[in-house]
Amino acid sequence: MKIKTLKTSQRNFSIMLANHLNLQQKNSRQTELTVDRILNGIKKNKNKALLNFIKRFDNTVYKRISDSLVSKSEITSAYSQVTKNTLNDLKKAISNIKKFSKKQILKSWSINVKGSKIGERVTPLKNVGIYVPGGKASYPSTVLMNAIPAKVAGVDNVVMVCPPTDKKLNPLVLVAADLCNVNEIYKFGGAHAIGALAYGTETIKQVDKIVGPGNIYVATAKKKVFGTVGIDSFAGPSEILIIADKDTNPECIAIDMFAQAEHDELAQSILLTTSEKLIISVNNKIDKMINNQKRKKIIKKSLTTRGLFLKAKNQSEIIDIANKIAPEHLEIIGYQPEKLSKKILNAGAIFIGENSPEVFGDYCAGPNHVLPTSGSAKFASPLGVYDFLKRTSLMKISKLHAKELSDIASSIADVEGLYAHSDSAKYRK
């Protein structure tokens, strides 16, 4: 299999690397127009429009929106279709994610200054919508990673939307939602689901924030409703950067590159090393192992178009390149992994050592798998409890402190030419 190789010794290396990483996912004009029509329809005609869009895009007919709400009997039925082993594994994953999430809880705080009380009040969002892709696919992990931090934060009402198949949702998804205490589950998806959550209808209450992945129509809709409601992120294709040295088992690297590449054709798998011998060995392993992969067609397309081998001269270059790429997932398997990890500041999640594959983060280790992509790890963070909390500043100023602040505030206000501000400050002196 021909996977592109770049070396730092090549002329214009930085430009070639940037060009390879730069995936421009431009929405077509038609996509934009379609999403606009859907969102405007929901905004204007609410349930009536939503029922029409569900019929058109979900290929499902409901007499009323309440018919799309998952019933208790459906959830009971879902449990009967899930094996005990799978149920136990879901519960273990939930336990790990909860333990991790609880460490992220923020607390209100205050300080006393000259008799004044100044601080922040931390409160959870009231209503949150989570989008879970559906149809033939099953993503219980998406439910866990989005619902658990919301509930740990203290969100009262979590509403889930998911596209059905023949008016049914995957049993694993339903069981995961129930175990995570999701309050309402609706059997429809797409841009119209985002519109219903963002604007509300006669049946569905408007949420404060929408999280979760989806197709290009869902992603476009989330961008368009941002400002009316909060959203988690503008996510691009999934990606992994693997840092490995000459002593790393090439089979381990090949397996982890497969695991990333099977997401979809646009997923990106990159090996970064100082060893040309390792690059050759990994490529050979990929060629030998690829035909045993059940999703080999997707993997081949991903690796040949978006895959990359990077050859650096030394560890200093490795650190520099890793920080420039700012990968969603970073595996460090060689070069004293823990020590090296402290020098890489830009990554969504770092997996240290051969026993820490990215897949553990995807499902069950505890940290969230909703991570910044496309280099946004330079300024963005993983989804967490923080995303479902808001902070409100509080000030209770004493009479003594007010006299001091009055002089400062009025002075600055006068300089800015905001004289009524100055008068307001002076009035408290």
Boundary residue ending a domain (231, 265, 296): 231
Beta bridge partner(s), residue 394: 119
Together in a domain, 203 and 278: no
Helices (H), 120-267: 140-153, 171-179, 191-199, 216-225, 250-261
Q: Is 339 exposed, middle or buried (0-12, 13-18, 19+ CB in 10 A)?
A: exposed
Q: Phi/psi of residue 111, each to 5°? A: -130, 155
Query: Is 328 labeled as catalytic in the residue annotation?
Result: yes
Amino acid at 336: Q
Is 9 a member of any domain?
A: no
Residue 262 contacts residue 362 (beta carbons within 8 Å) = no
Together in a domain, 133 and 49: yes
Question: Which of 359, 366, 323 has the alpha carbon at shortest distance from 101?
Answer: 366
The catalytically annotated residue of 239, 328, 331, 358 is 328
Is 85 a member of any domain?
A: yes
Query: Tokens in use for 20?
Result: 């390879």
Q: Phi/psi of residue 397, each to 5°? A: -90, 130
Tokens 């990077």, located at residue: 310
Tell me the chain's radius of gyration from C-alpha atoms.
25
Is 120 a member of any domain?
A: yes
Is 1 a member of any domain?
A: no
pLDDT of residue 23: 72
Query: Is 329 labeled as catalytic in the residue annotation?
Result: yes
In DSSP notation, 112-143 reads: EETTEEEEEEEEE-SEEEEE---TT---HHHH
Amino acid at 256: D
Together in a domain, 153 and 272: no
Distances from the Cα of 105 to the Cαs of 151, 215, 248, 347, in angstroms? 11, 31, 38, 22
Is 24 a member of any domain?
A: no
Enclosing domain of residue 125:
29-231
* Cα separation, 114 vs 107, whole angstroms: 23
- Residue 91: CB atoms within 10 A of its CB come to 12
Q: Phi/psi of residue 401, each to 5°? A: -70, -35
Is 14 a member of any domain?
A: no
Boundary residue ending a domain (180, 209, 231): 231
Domain count, the chain: 3
Amino acid at 384: G
Together in a domain, 354 and 367: yes
Boundary residue ending a domain (231, 254, 269): 231
The catalytically annotated residue of 192, 263, 329, 369 is 329
Together in a domain, 323 and 261: yes
Together in a domain, 370 and 277: yes
Together in a domain, 64 and 208: yes
Query: Tokens in use for 217?
Result: 């129509």
Predicted model pTM? 0.93
* Cα separation, 416 vs 411, whole angstroms: 9
Domain with residue 272: its CATH number is 3.40.50.1980
Is 115 a member of any domain?
A: yes
Together in a domain, 224 and 309: no
pLDDT of residue 133: 92
Together in a domain, 38 and 88: yes
Is 22 a member of any domain?
A: no
Together in a domain, 136 and 256: no
Q: What is the pLDDT along the chain (429 residues), one digit of tens a residue?
A: 899 999 999 999 999 999 999 876 666 889 999 999 999 999 999 999 999 999 999 999 999 999 999 999 999 999 999 999 999 999 999 999 999 999 999 999 999 999 999 999 999 999 999 999 986 667 999 999 999 999 999 999 999 999 999 889 999 999 999 999 999 999 999 999 999 999 999 999 999 999 999 988 999 999 999 999 999 988 888 999 999 999 999 999 999 999 999 998 999 999 999 999 999 999 999 999 999 999 999 999 999 999 999 999 999 999 999 999 999 999 999 999 999 999 999 999 999 999 999 999 999 999 999 999 999 999 999 999 999 999 999 999 999 999 999 999 999 999 999 999 999 999 998
Together in a domain, 221 and 241: no
Together in a domain, 320 and 261: yes
